[in-house]
């Protein structure tokens, strides 16, 4: 038995060394990620499940305190990939920078009100306060403004008082009734809805009413074109790894148990709301409708101006990476 045990142990050791050696031979993909971002749920699933090494690369994650820092690392060559919205990619391409976008999430927010508020439509918010995370150029806010103009004939900016603040502050103000409504990032909205608030209008519904495609993914993995040209297999591997992680998180409730601490859910209702919200934001996987994306960008240019879109008043070619 002792000889057999030694043989088994030796074989396992050799297998582990071979696996480690193979991993060392894989190309690295350096990812600059927001330390507290919800993308980390997918990143952790990719790493824990070996979806990176199984697809021919090793994902090396570098955590940063804010989105601006991740972009600086990416632009300065300290990272190969970053998560950002495709509006930013379009803006950068219009400036001559060859950045490309692989869809990650279409999760967007909405405008929520308290269940007992008596507010039934956007028109009921006239003269009231709305809390908004992300600032006056927040894309959800701009879409909601356009929707109110189309459906009710008024601009929310003119007819309400806006209170801008960090997501946690907007979360607190909405729950405590300091604002009549709140526009927040999707994961904060999920928690708010678990605590007695509901969508007055979702951005997806507003976008559809405006003739936009609600399936257009807003967030994605951003790479540089020269990196993709030099490492097409890594870019393709990232796309496959991301899809594998999404499929796992979509179908396997058990896969979420190891993510509980990172999700920072206050109770089971919040946990389930965050899980379900993430799942609802998974893109269909179909090619992005570039005509719909162009309509979206034109609307953002109209409402947000050069401060938001720069020179990208129409969709530049090549924003959405095709690996076919």
Check: CB of residue 156 under 8 Å from CB of residue 206. Answer: no
Following DSSP, what letter does each residue of 181-238 receive, concatenated? EEE--HHHHHHHHHTTEEEEEEHHHHHHHTT--TTS--EEEEEEHHHHHH-HHHHHHH
Q: What tens digit of pLDDT does each residue of 17-51 get? A: 444 445 568 999 999 999 989 999 999 999 999 99
Distances (CA, A) of 157 to 97, 125, 160, 237: 33, 11, 6, 44
pLDDT for the residue 297: 96
pLDDT exceeds cutoff 50 at 249: yes
Enter the tokens of residue 35: 């330390």
Check: CB of residue 112 under 8 Å from CB of residue 200. Answer: yes
pLDDT exceeds cutoff 60 at 252: yes
Averaged over 78-106, what is the pLDDT? Answer: 96
pLDDT exceeds cutoff 60 at 16: no
Q: Same CATH topology for 28-106+215-309 and 110-209?
A: yes
**Domain layout of the chain by residue ranges:** 28-106+215-309, 110-209
- CATH topology for 110-209 is D-Maltodextrin-Binding Protein; domain 2 (3.40.190)
Nearest to 132 by CA among 82, 183, 174: 183
pLDDT for the residue 24: 64
Residues recorded for the chain: 324
- Measured at the CA of 302, the angle between CA 300 and CA 307, to 5 degrees, comes to 70
Q: Which residues of 232-248 are buried (b: 16+ CB within 10 A; e: fewer)?
A: eebbbbbbbbbbbbbeb
Q: Which H/E stretch holds residue 130?
A: strand 129-133
Q: List CB contacts of 141: < 8 A, sequence separation 6 or more.
A: 132, 134, 156, 183
pLDDT exceeds cutoff 70 at 2: no
- Cα separation of 11 and 17, whole Å? 10
Q: What tens digit of pLDDT does each residue of 271-318 get? A: 999 999 999 999 988 899 999 999 999 999 999 999 999 999 999 999
pLDDT for the residue 108: 77
Residue 264, phi-psi category: left (phi > 0), alpha (psi -120 to 50), beta (remainder): left
- % the chain with pLDDT above 70: 92
pLDDT for the residue 5: 44
Averaged over 155-180, what is the pLDDT? Answer: 97
- Cα separation of 160 and 156, whole Å? 6
Enter the tokens of residue 318: 């090549």
pLDDT exceeds cutoff 70 at 228: yes
**Highest CATH level, class, for 28-106+215-309:** alpha beta
pLDDT for the residue 285: 87
């Amino acid at each position: 038995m002792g000889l057999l045990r030694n043989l088994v142990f030796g074989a396992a050791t050799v297998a582990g060394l071979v696996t480690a050696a193979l991993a060392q031979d894989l190309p690295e993909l350096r990812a600059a990620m927001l330390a507290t971002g919800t993308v980390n749920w997918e990143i952790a699933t990719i790493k824990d499940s070996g979806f990176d090494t199984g697809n021919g690369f090793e994902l090396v994650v570098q955590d940063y305190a804010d989105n601006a820092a991740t972009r600086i690392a990416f632009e300065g060559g300290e990272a190969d990939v970053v998560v950002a919205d495709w509006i930013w990619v379009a803006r950068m391409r219009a400036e001559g920078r060859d950045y490309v976008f692989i869809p990650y999430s279409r999760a967007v927010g909405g405008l929520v009100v308290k269940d007992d508020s008596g507010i039934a439509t956007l028109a009921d918010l006239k003269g009231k306060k709305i809390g908004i995370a992300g600032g006056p150029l927040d894309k959800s806010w701009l879409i909601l403004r356009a929707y109110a103009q189309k459906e009710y004939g008024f601009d929310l900016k003119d007819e309400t008082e806006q209170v801008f603040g960090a997501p946690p502050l907007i979360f607190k103000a909405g729950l405590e009734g300091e604002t009549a409504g709140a526009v927040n990032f999707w994961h904060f909205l999920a928690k708010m809805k678990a605590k007695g608030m509901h969508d007055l209008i979702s951005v997806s519904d507003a976008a559809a009413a405006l003739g936009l495609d609600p399936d257009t993914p807003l967030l994605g993995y951003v790479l540089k074109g020269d990196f993709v040209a030099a490492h097409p297999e890594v870019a393709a591997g990232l796309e496959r790894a991301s899809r594998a992680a999404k499929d796992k998180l979509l179908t396997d409730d058990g896969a979420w148990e190891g993510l509980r601490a990172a999700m920072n859910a206050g109770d089971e209702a919040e946990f389930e709301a965050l899980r379900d919200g993430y799942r609802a934001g998974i893109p269909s996987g179909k090619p992005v409708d570039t005509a719909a994306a162009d309509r979206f960008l034109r609307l953002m240019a109209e409402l947000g101006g050069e401060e938001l879109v720069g020179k990208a008043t129409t969709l530049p070619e090549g924003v959405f990476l095709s690996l076919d």
